[in-house]
Amino acid sequence: MSASSYINAILESIKIRANEPVFLQAATEVLKSLEPILSAEKKYQEHAILEQLIIPEKIHTFRVIYCDDKGKANVNLGYRVQFSSALGPYKGGLRFHPSVNLDLLKFLGFEQIFKNSLTGLMMGGAKGGSDFDPKGKSEAEIMRFCQAFMLNLSKVIGATTDVPAGDIGVGGREIGYMFGMYKKLTGFYDGTLTGKGLNWGGSLARTEATGYGCVYFTDEMLKKAKQGLEGKVCAVSGSGNVAIYTIEKLYQMGAKPVTISDSNGFVYDKNGIDLELLKEIKEVKRGRVSDYAKARKDAVYTEAKAYKKGTNGVWSVPCDGAFPSATQNELNLEDIKTLYSNGCRFVSEGANMPSTLEAIDFMLSKKDFHFGPAKAANAGGVATSQLEMQQNSSMSQWSFEEVDKKLHKIMKNIFNNSYETAKEFKHAGNLVVGSNIAGFKKVADAMIDHGYI
């Protein structure tokens, strides 16, 4: 069977098994880009590697029940999708958000396999979470939920088996509550969770890592094109950790970020986002981006309901480059056409799969455009989580500068590996092909070595 027919058959099997459009989108993006290596090396088809890769090794689904402040019982669904352990312990975040379901977590876990492989560190791929919504909940309610969630999760994780981290809705506070419960249930004080507090096992630079890493990757991508970030005007979506520290590193690199957003709308600040004000509103007051606009004289706030139908308003701002750092499918074909016509010539994905397949095809079709795909560009977060695991195993803590230096080196290596792999397989400059093949080859070869298990 030809590589193309093989890939189409695998994608058809996903459609038949379940109605999982987000996972299907992720699988389509990855598998289609693997055609060059599957054509060149028949062993992957002979060992049914794709058939194995699209099915998680284990899926854990459980009930989570906790009491709210009024004493009323609340019930949520909890998940842990353990996709691949070919390269090491399962590794991937936990997301608490009403949108969480099995389809979403399978997409995230599948992406995590290749992202973790690209870092060069020994990590498998997983993802988990719950449809619990922390928004509007009291501190005590969030603590009780986290403890109830860990009652089940603790049975399937461990420092050498599965090491979760945070994701949307799960920050240092939630990790702290879960780690405390894990420690009480198991008696272990180890590196089972990452994103821990600095005074009890966390790593310096972990909070900054995804945003910093995305900018480091972008800098390498532009340098290869004999360009740079100095003087570039950049649009950034989101207003969480990824967006905040993308903005911070952009300033350090001489660029000017001018936008932030959340689910209610976006802010355009022509003078450049006031980083300290943003941190105060998001990290201290836990406010919304509309609060930023109220406190900043020249900032313009646009509500999401005012966006043109089918578009994301943040991408209407003229810029040199864009950093989608909020959520999946936030950048569609119409959005990228608007960005391009307004002068944007590079996109680096800070979020997971923020661009639709049509938007990606458009970016790759333009010879004057540079695209950094998520599994390469946003791998800095999970890479630094693994650096936290290394520190935990040696019972030590490295300086911020030491972690940041290692992060910078990892991101540079990811870019070079992706770039050289794309060139090797006759797709020079296509970092989607390069990153997917580079990540796949390492995992697939390990699976063959381990046998049929």
Q: Which residues belong to the active site?
A: 127
Buried b (16+ CB within 10 A) or exposed e, 178-207: bbebbbeeeeeebbbbbbbeeeebbbbbbb
Q: What region, left, alpha or beta, does residue 129 occupy, with left being phi > 0 and alpha being psi -120 to 50 degrees?
A: left
3-state helix, strand, coil in the chain (%, to 5): 50, 15, 35
Length of the chain: 453
Two tokens at 450? 């381990």
Asked whether 220 and 411 are in contact (CB, 8 A), the reply is yes
Two tokens at 360? 């990606």
Angle at 122 between CA 374 and CA 222, to 5 degrees: 35
* Of 359, 375, 381, the residue nearest 417 (C-alpha): 375
Residue 144 to residues 60, 180, 188: CA-CA distances in angstroms? 21, 12, 20
Instruction: Point out which residues pair with 94 in neighbouring strands.
Output: 128, 166
Burial of 140 from C-beta contacts in 10 A (0-12 / 13-18 / 19+): exposed
Q: Which residues touch 22 (CB under 8 Å, ≥6 apart)? A: 103, 104, 106, 107, 328, 353
Q: Hunting for tokens 């900032």 — which residue is that?
A: 299
Residue 137 to residues 133, 134, 153, 349: CA-CA distances in angstroms? 8, 5, 21, 30
At position 7, the amino acid (one-letter code) is: I
Asked whether 421 and 40 are in contact (CB, 8 A), the reply is no
Q: How far apart are the first and last CA of the chain?
A: 24
Buried b (16+ CB within 10 A) or exposed e, 269-299: beeebbeeebeebbeeeebbbbbbbeebeeb
Buried b (16+ CB within 10 A) or exposed e, 32-43: bbbbbbbeeeee
Sign of the Cα pseudo-torsion (11, 354, 214, 212, in order): negative
Phi, psi for 84 (deg, rounded to 5):
-150, 135
